[in-house]
Amino acid sequence: MALGRLTNMEVGWAKPAQPHVLKPAVFLDKDGTLIVDVPYNVDPEQIQLQPGAASAVQRLHQAGYALVVVSNQSGVARGYFAEAALKTVEQRLQELLGVPLAGFYYCPHYPTGVVPEYAIACSCRKPEPGMLLQAAADLHLDMSRSWMIGDILNDVEAAHRAGCCAILIDNGNETEWEMTEGRSPDFTAPDMAIAANFILHQAKDDDTNGFDADVSRSLRPSARVGDR
């Protein structure tokens, strides 16, 4: 778990782990995906799960997916709250979801922030893939079998650049629809329950295919790490 580990470093290429220990993950955006988006909130009392989120992540956990939160938290760089406040957020989220999180990664940066040490153009703020790549290295994840679930296209792009598939929860939070390279979701779902169903059915199909089916290859035409 690397809470804060990304603060002072640029994230580079993950060192490949032993293939037999690689595990699939579901990367989860926090605000607007797992929880109701209250902008820049770190008050645990105001954290409220999206409908169906807890049972969705519980099913993914039971199916063997590592659950990894990846969240842009520019409120740190903007001076709205201290980085330490995110520890409380992580604890409350974990409690509400009722399932172990394999990782909780956040990007505290923002290029035009007011707190100098965080006011940088980093490689972890989504759509950059840095948080996902760091998690892949830390947790020995198989990105070709991993998914990201998010509510905006920056989540989708980050996933594709990190080498995994992406589901967009189309709940109205994406408003710009800038459809440049790597930003087309592999699946669009109205909520977390349907997103989880899709991932679980996809995994089942892979098993029954009897060969090493690569979901990402079949669903996603172009995006690979290093495409840009």
Using CB under 5 A as the binding rule, whether residue 107 contacts Zn ion is answered as yes
Comparing CA positions, the residue from 74, 80, 75, 104 lying closest to residue 90 is 104
Using CB under 5 A as the binding rule, whether residue 157 contacts Mg ion is answered as no
Shorter beta-carbon distance to Mg ion: residue 149 or 215: 149
Say how far apart CA 131 and CA 125 lie, in whole Å: 8
Using CB under 5 A as the binding rule, whether residue 163 contacts Mg ion is answered as no
Residue nearest to Mg ion (CB): 32
Query: Least Å distance between CB 25 and Zn ion?
Result: 19
29 binds, among Mg ion, Zn ion, none (CB under 5 to 8 A by kind): Mg ion
**155 among known catalytic residues:** no
The residue from 26, 34, 53, 124 that contacts Zn ion (CB under 5 A) is: 124
User: Under a CB-based contact definition with an 8 Å cutoff, are residues 70 and 132 in contact?
Assistant: yes
Using CB under 5 A as the binding rule, whether residue 47 contacts Zn ion is answered as no
Shorter beta-carbon distance to Mg ion: residue 77 or 153: 153
Which distant-in-sequence residues (6+ apart) come within 8 Å of 56 by Cβ?
192, 193, 195, 196
Using CB under 5 A as the binding rule, whether residue 185 contacts Mg ion is answered as no
Using CB under 5 A as the binding rule, whether residue 29 contacts Mg ion is answered as yes
Give the DSSP letter of residue 65.
P
Shorter beta-carbon distance to Zn ion: residue 125 or 183: 125
124 binds, among Zn ion, Mg ion, none (CB under 5 to 8 A by kind): Zn ion
Using CB under 5 A as the binding rule, whether residue 32 contacts Mg ion is answered as yes
User: Under a CB-based contact definition with an 8 Å cutoff, are residues 124 and 157 in contact?
Assistant: no
User: Under a CB-based contact definition with an 8 Å cutoff, are residues 107 and 155 in contact?
Assistant: no
Catalytic residue among 29, 151, 155, 186: 29
Using CB under 5 A as the binding rule, whether residue 169 contacts Zn ion is answered as no
**29 among known catalytic residues:** yes
Using CB under 5 A as the binding rule, whether residue 132 contacts Zn ion is answered as no
Say how far apart CA 87 and CA 131 lie, in whole Å: 17
3-class secondary structure, 67? strand
Using CB under 5 A as the binding rule, whether residue 174 contacts Mg ion is answered as no
Shorter beta-carbon distance to Mg ion: residue 128 or 151: 151
Query: Least Å distance between CB 174 and Mg ion?
Result: 9
Question: Would you put residue 141 in left (φ > 0), alpha (ψ -120 to 50) or beta?
Answer: beta
> In sequence order, which ranges of the chain are alpha helices (DSSP H)?
53-62, 85-97, 130-139, 153-162, 192-209, 215-219
Comparing CA positions, the residue from 133, 149, 126 lying closest to residue 202 is 149
Report, as residue numbers or ranges, the catalytic residues: 29, 31
Q: Which residues lie near Zn ion (CB under 5 A)?
A: 107, 109, 122, 124-125
